[in-house]
Amino acid sequence: MSAATASIPYAVSPALNVAQTRCLTKTYGSVTALRNVEMELREGELLALLGPNGAGKTTLVRMLLGLASPDSGRVTVFGADPREEAMRYRVGAMLQVARVPETLKVREHIDLFSSYYPNPLPVAEILRIAGLEELKDRRFGELSGGQRQRVLFAISICGDPDLLFLDEPTVGLDVEARRLMWTQIRALVARGKTVLLTTHYLNEADALADRILVLQHGSIVAEGTPAEIKARAIGRQVRFSSQLPIEEIRGIAGVLSVRADRQKYELQVQAAEPVVRELLKRDSWLSDLEVTSAGLEEAFLALTQNHNSNGSN
Amino acid sequence: MAATAITTQLAAPQRSLRNRVELFAKEAKYEVLKNIRIPIYAASTIVFPLMFYVLFGIVLRPNNPVNRSEDATYLLATMGTFGVMGASLFGFAVSLAMERGQGWLQLKRASPMPLAAYFTAKLVSAMLLSGAIALALLAIGYTFAHVRLAPARAAELVGILVMAAIPFGAMGLALGYIAKPNSAPAVVNLIYLPLSFCSGLWIPIFLLPKFLREVARALPPFHISQLALRAVGMSRDAYSVSTHMEALAGFTLLFLGLAVVLYRRDEGQLYG
């Protein structure tokens, strides 16, 4: 059965969606945390859920983990309701925990979580993957912020899960610790794990993700590859009709991407003015000119600020 | 490998009995380790009842050796009840409220940990602490207050105080779902101290005004302390053992039911 389904491309085989939501809505009191969210998580990919604080990222992760019930809509993980116990054996989670019991040692935390799974990874391997070998006999309370995040990361991989949820794994980490965490996350994807990562750093999503979903006020406002999302985040959209060949348009300075439908073009550009000036110079018959913002300003105001303040690497 | 995984029907793997026992044992072991490594935790739950026992049972007593040993024996039962109630209430209510509010329990619930293992661990921890409190009180009583209990009676007292972790733990469980993480210690103290007083743990029940004696019948610590007093042969109470046991079983079920309702209410809320 697996051989048969594996050869079918994603587009026609919903079975290869590891997780999906349909029309998912959740409110807390008067706050709508999620509004008609439709998303898929495909096997073996790293999907980044990008959005400012309060966008609904954590709520979505909680629902995918079966820790909260939807008001309406549907969530499936491995084809089943995530509130069922069976799912938990195949899933690992790194959540934002305000306080972890501080008097237990690193290896004790790992030993305990490993005991919940029938086929856990060996403790030595978990320590190695998470880079905690030197720290295994330290109490949690004695660890630095970056080291604490690594312990939570280690806990998430104890059961050797097929699917991992990493909720803001690098929040509060310095550049070096963040790099280390990125390396560890990449190693997981290389091992064939499916990962859903939430972040409010555009550069983090860019560095790690195969695909990005942008969440704002509980709705998905953009979806695409990191290149597409970045282009939308920082620039403008220029639409027009022109006889110019696509190669020539691609060559214009400041054009990030080009989409063409016969003579109708849609460009992602950094700044509209120089590109429009250049286009009009080359084709004075250019028509239907339209310049719009990417529509993500509000979502990205916070994102790009974070991006900049973290040195953007 | 992963492709196979996705098309596989989801079914929770069956745990062998041995795995289950190991899992529960490990959860309990780490709960106990976690607690005893917090000096203030052990100090406040063990040292306070011992201190009160020394104060009221030994220091502030008349010098007549007969009365002294009688009072000290009486206080073994009541201060013992006071101590184990604290151990269970703090062990359940405060730690549950904290772990709920701070996201730790949620992380555990995202794993396949059986919730029963989590609560059993807290119960085991409370029982061990209760046992330690009971033994320490006995040691002080024997050494400094001329307490002379037959070993069988002493053993019965320890047994009752250890088992008291069940009704008190159920009470703490419900409180742990009512209280918010920051207010939990205050809420517990607010309930703990008046409840102890009204149940006759501070002033012997027969010295309390009549209406308080009526109130006491509706309080779990009263029934525990009466069973403990019976064990040391100093009960003056009109009820039978089975009445106390039935009352305690009733309280336990009531608190567990309340905890289940509150747990359900919790589902889908921000707290885990």
**CATH number for position A263:** 3.30.70.100
More confident residue, B233 or B44: B233
Q: Are residues A150 and A250 in the same domain?
A: no
Stretch B188-217: mean pLDDT, rounded? Answer: 91
Within 8 A of A43 by CB-CB distance, chain B residues are: 2-3, 6
- Contacts with A168 (C-beta within 8 Å, 6 or more apart), sequence order: A57, A58, A96, A198, A199, A200
pLDDT at A263: 87
Q: In Å, how far is B145's CA from the nearest CA of chain A?
A: 37
pLDDT at A154: 96
More confident residue, B272 or A170: A170
Q: Average pLDDT over chain B, rounded to whole? A: 88
Residue B10 at interface with chain A, using a CB cutoff of 8 Å: yes
Query: What is the interface pTM, i.e. ipTM, of the complex?
Result: 0.87
Give Cα separations from A153 to A182, A194, A280, B169 (angstroms): 11, 15, 53, 32
Rounded Cα gap, residues A278 and A273, in angstroms: 9
* CA neighbor of B181 nearest in space, from B253, B264, B100, B120: B100
More confident residue, A142 or B268: A142
Answer whether residue A308 is part of any domain: no
Nearest CA in chain A to B36: A103
Residue A137, classed as helix, strand or coil, is: coil
- Do residues A31 and A19 lie in contact, with contact meaning Cβ atoms separated by under 8 Å? no
Taking an 8 Å cut-off on Cβ atoms, the answer to whether B107 and A80 are in contact is no
Greatest mean pLDDT among A222-231, B8-17, B25-34 lies in B25-34
Residue A81 at interface with chain B, using a CB cutoff of 8 Å: no
Mutation site, B111, B265, B269, B270, interface A, largest A CB count within 10 A:
B111
Within 8 A of B267 by CB-CB distance, chain A residues are: 68-69
Stretch A273-284: mean pLDDT, rounded? Answer: 92
Rounded Cα gap, residues A96 and B193, in angstroms: 36
- Contacts with A10 (C-beta within 8 Å, 6 or more apart), sequence order: A16, A17, A42
Report the phi/psi class of residue B173: left, alpha or beta, with left for phi > 0 and alpha for psi in -120 to 50. Answer: alpha
Taking an 8 Å cut-off on Cβ atoms, the answer to whether B267 and A113 are in contact is no
**pLDDT of residue B1 exceeding 60:** no
Nearest to A6 among B3, B34, B267 (CB): B3
Torsion over CA: B157, B160, B165, B168 (sign): negative
More confident residue, A112 or A176: A112
- Do residues A174 and A104 lie in contact, with contact meaning Cβ atoms separated by under 8 Å? no
Confidence of residue A20 (pLDDT cuts 50, 70, 90): very high
Q: In Å, how far is A174's CA from the nearest CA of chain B?
A: 23
**Range name among B37-41, B57-61, B86-90, B101-105 with the lowest pLDDT average:** B57-61
- Contacts with B49 (C-beta within 8 Å, 6 or more apart), sequence order: B79, B80, B82, B83, B86, B133, B137
Rounded Cα gap, residues B148 and B146, in angstroms: 6
Q: In Å, how far is B224's CA from the nearest CA of chain A?
A: 32
Q: Are residues A166 and A279 in the same domain?
A: no
**pLDDT of residue A293 exceeding 80:** no
Taking an 8 Å cut-off on Cβ atoms, the answer to whether A87 and B34 are in contact is no
Report the phi/psi class of residue A262: left, alpha or beta, with left for phi > 0 and alpha for psi in -120 to 50. Answer: left
Within 8 A of B99 by CB-CB distance, chain A residues are: 101
Q: Are residues A158 and A255 in the same domain?
A: no
Domain containing A183 — which CATH number? 3.40.50.300
Q: Are residues A276 and A131 in the same domain?
A: no
Q: How many Cβ pairs within 8 Å bridge chains A and B?
A: 122
Rounded Cα gap, residues B32 and B77, in angstroms: 25
Percentage of chain B surpassing pLDDT 90?
A: 60
pLDDT tens for residues A87-124? Answer: 999 999 999 998 899 999 999 999 999 999 988 999 99
Taking an 8 Å cut-off on Cβ atoms, the answer to whether A101 and B23 are in contact is no
**pLDDT of residue A63 exceeding 80:** yes
Pairing relationship of beta strands A72-77 and A194-199 according to DSSP bridges: unpaired
Please, where are the H alpha helices in chain B? Answer: 2-7, 17-36, 39-42, 48-52, 65-89, 95-101, 104-110, 115-144, 151-163, 165-178, 184-198, 210-216, 220-231, 241-266
Domains in chain A: how many in total?
2
Residue A92: phi and psi, rounded to 5, are -120, 150
**Terminal CA-to-CA distance of chain B, rounded, Å?**
33
Please, where are the H alpha helices in chain A? Answer: 2-6, 57-64, 106-114, 123-129, 145-157, 175-190, 202-208, 226-234, 246-250, 272-282, 297-309
Answer whether residue A212 is part of any domain: yes
Q: Average pLDDT over chain A, rounded to whole? A: 86
Stretch A31-55: mean pLDDT, rounded? Answer: 92
Give Cα separations from A280 to A102, A243, A289, A293 (angstroms): 65, 12, 10, 20
Answer whether residue A163 is part of any domain: yes
Query: For the sheet containing A236-241, what is the strand order?
Result: A255-261, A264-269, A236-241, A287-293
Nearest to A99 among B102, B269, B270 (CB): B102
Q: In Å, how far is A101's CA from the nearest CA of chain B?
A: 7
Instruction: Count the Cβ atoms, other than its own, within 10 Å of residue B76.
Output: 29
Answer whether residue A306 is part of any domain: no
Answer whether residue A299 is part of any domain: no
Q: Are residues A215 and A278 in the same domain?
A: no
Domain end among A229, A248, A264: A229
Confidence of residue A137 (pLDDT cuts 50, 70, 90): very high
- Contacts with B126 (C-beta within 8 Å, 6 or more apart), sequence order: B84, B87, B88, B91, B92, B165, B168, B169, B172
Q: Are residues A169 and A246 in the same domain?
A: no
Percentage of chain B surpassing pLDDT 70?
A: 92
pLDDT at A296: 62
**Range name among A28-32, A96-100, A299-303, B159-163 with the lowest pLDDT average:** A299-303
Q: Are residues A159 and A225 in the same domain?
A: yes
Stretch A115-141: mean pLDDT, rounded? Answer: 95
- Do residues A65 and B75 lie in contact, with contact meaning Cβ atoms separated by under 8 Å? no
Residue A175 at interface with chain B, using a CB cutoff of 8 Å: no
Q: In Å, how far is B176's CA from the nearest CA of chain A?
A: 17
Q: Are residues A179 and A206 in the same domain?
A: yes
Q: What is the DSSP letter of A120?
A: P
Q: Are residues A178 and A53 in the same domain?
A: yes
Q: Are residues A66 and A94 in the same domain?
A: yes
Taking an 8 Å cut-off on Cβ atoms, the answer to whether B10 and A78 are in contact is yes
Stretch B71-96: mean pLDDT, rounded? Answer: 92
Burial of A297 (0-12, 13-18, 19+ CB in 10 A): exposed
Rounded Cα gap, residues A254 and A252, in angstroms: 6
Answer whether residue A164 is part of any domain: yes
Which domain, by its residues, includes A67? 2-229
Q: Are residues A37 and A55 in the same domain?
A: yes
The torsion defined by the Cα of A161, A167, A173 and A179, in degrees rounded to 10, comes to 50
Domain end among A200, A229, A258: A229
Q: In Å, how far is B164's CA from the nearest CA of chain A?
A: 26
pLDDT tens for residues A195-252? Answer: 999 998 888 898 999 999 999 889 998 899 988 887 777 778 899 999 999 999 988 9
Answer whether residue A194 is part of any domain: yes
Q: Are residues A183 and A266 in the same domain?
A: no
Residue A89 at interface with chain B, using a CB cutoff of 8 Å: yes
Stretch B244-260: mean pLDDT, rounded? Answer: 95
Rounded Cα gap, residues A209 and A49, in angstroms: 9
Taking an 8 Å cut-off on Cβ atoms, the answer to whether B23 and A115 are in contact is yes
Taking an 8 Å cut-off on Cβ atoms, the answer to whether A89 and B12 are in contact is yes
- Do residues A58 and A198 lie in contact, with contact meaning Cβ atoms separated by under 8 Å? yes
pLDDT at B110: 93
Nearest CA in chain A to B106: A67
**pLDDT of residue B62 exceeding 70:** no
Answer whether residue A12 is part of any domain: yes
Domain end among A202, A229, A256: A229
